[in-house]
Amino acid sequence: MMESLADWRRSHYSREVNPDMNGEEILVMGWTHEIRDLGGIIFVLLRDRDGLVQVTAPSKKIDPGLFENLRKLKKESVIAVKGTVQESPKAPGGVELIPTDLRLLNQSQQPLPLDPTEKVRAEIDTRLDSRFLDLRKPSVSAIFKIKSTMLHSVRVFLEKNGYLEVNTPKLVASATEGGTELFPITYFEREAFLGQSPQLYKQTMMSAGFDKVYEIAPIFRAEEHDTLRHLNEVISIDMEASFHSDEDVMDVLEKLVVQAITDVTENCEEELKLLDKDLQIPETPFERIDYDDVIDLVNSKGVALEHGEDLSRAAEKAMGEAMDGYYFITGWPTEIKPFYVMANEETPEKSHAFDLMYKDLEISSGAMRVHQHDVLVEKISSKGLNPESFERYLAAFEYGMPPHAGWGLGAERFNMTLTGLNNIRETVLFPRDRRRLTP
């Protein structure tokens, strides 16, 4: 019979139960992860958000009715167990719980769509179709605990360094950067789009005198990719800072990355173990490699890449073989960068743009921006775009726009470097790609 919580309240999470509590009565709540019935003794592994606690029920030491109720439990049912802590070196956490009372809060149907114990592996599509069960796996929930720690670290770092959190619109009237990679939507009697970047709004904040801002929010790209590193909805960590050069914001970025890795290392030890990830704190400054040198290096690896081309997947793989850890690619050709990227004053064919790479994975792009109105109008036109479509944006540059720079860091791609995952879909609770819109 299923029961309500009523006067029952959880006293501890599994991670809080330890041998020093020997003899204490506690109340734990969670799911029946595993059940082993050996006849005269029943073992139940109860799983909660933090891990596992073993419930050990010897038939000769507990109430017969309680023993039979434990025997009837089904895997993944929700239960609450009262019991006495007993030291047990072989049990998870070095303790077991001798039960005195049990409440079945919700019975799980059988059979399960997949196995949360991971004894039987499931393909990624099966996992995503039953994501609620997949996320119960300790190794999967570990990914999102690490992601949460990383995002918290990012916020604390930026706040401590004087950045103001802002929230920009995700429903926009026109393209952020031009191009066609936009999701159109019906906005009352007219067409609008899902925002592909907060870029133009971040720059407007510089004109507003906010000086240093950041935003952690979703962005949407209508790219028809079907790869292990692209999604159509992701979380972007964006910042913009007035009176900063590209070198200044690169310095901020590498310090932020190191701080986030440090915090994950210190606060997610168990989660990293579950993922078998030995996370190393990188040294700063990160290596810088000029785009021209990238061309030479990639070609020396037998991968054809012409000057003025963006990196192909083959070129990224070649870079990953040559470079280890985090590094910047600088000096990108101006012609392949968006209109708001500033050209180098001495060599205009090269820009003040950079990418942060981890081996063969691009995780961030940034640049010093054009802050002169007339130059920006000219660059918009040179990209085949109509400056009139950017009228509201351009107005911010007519009344005192300071020099500024910034970057966007992909939260999911960054989390891939922290967790060692190869498929970006695993870093998102409910991923959105060209084939998946549910759950």
93, HSE (Cβ side, Cα atoms, 13 Å): 25
pTM, two decimals, is 0.93
pLDDT on residue 257: 98
Q: Is there a common fold for 14-106 and 134-427?
A: no
Largest CA distance in the chain: 87
State how far the Cα of 197 lies from the Cα of 433, in Å rounded to an integer. 17
Q: Which CATH architecture has domain 14-106?
A: Beta Barrel (2.40)
pLDDT on residue 268: 97
Tens-binned pLDDT, residue by residue, of the chain (439 aa) = 456 666 789 999 999 999 999 999 999 999 999 999 999 999 999 999 999 999 999 999 999 999 999 999 999 999 999 999 999 999 988 999 999 999 999 999 999 999 999 899 999 999 999 999 999 999 999 999 999 999 999 999 999 999 999 999 999 987 666 656 899 999 999 999 999 999 999 999 999 999 999 999 999 999 888 899 999 999 999 999 999 999 999 999 999 999 999 999 999 999 999 999 999 999 999 999 999 999 999 999 999 999 999 999 999 999 999 999 999 999 999 999 999 999 999 999 999 999 999 999 999 999 999 999 999 999 999 999 999 989 999 999 999 999 999 999 999 999 999 999 999 999 999 999 999 999 9
135 exposure class (CB count in 10 Å sphere: 0-12, 13-18, 19+): middle
Element (H, E) at 149: helix 138-160
Q: Which residue from 149, 419, 141 is spatially nearest to 266, judged by alpha carbons?
A: 149
State how far the Cα of 407 lies from the Cα of 396, in Å rounded to an integer. 20
pLDDT on residue 294: 97
Domain boundaries, the chain: 14-106, 134-427
Residue 338's contacts (CB-CB under 8 Å, 6 or more residues apart) are: 177, 178, 199, 383
Dihedral sign computed on CA atoms, order 319, 322, 326, 330: negative
Decide if 239 contacts 213 (C-beta within 8 A).
yes
Q: Give strand pairing partners of 81.
A: 28, 102
Pick the CATH number of 134-427 from 1.10.3720.10, 3.30.930.10, 3.40.50.620, 3.40.50.300: 3.30.930.10
State how far the Cα of 289 lies from the Cα of 291, in Å rounded to an integer. 7
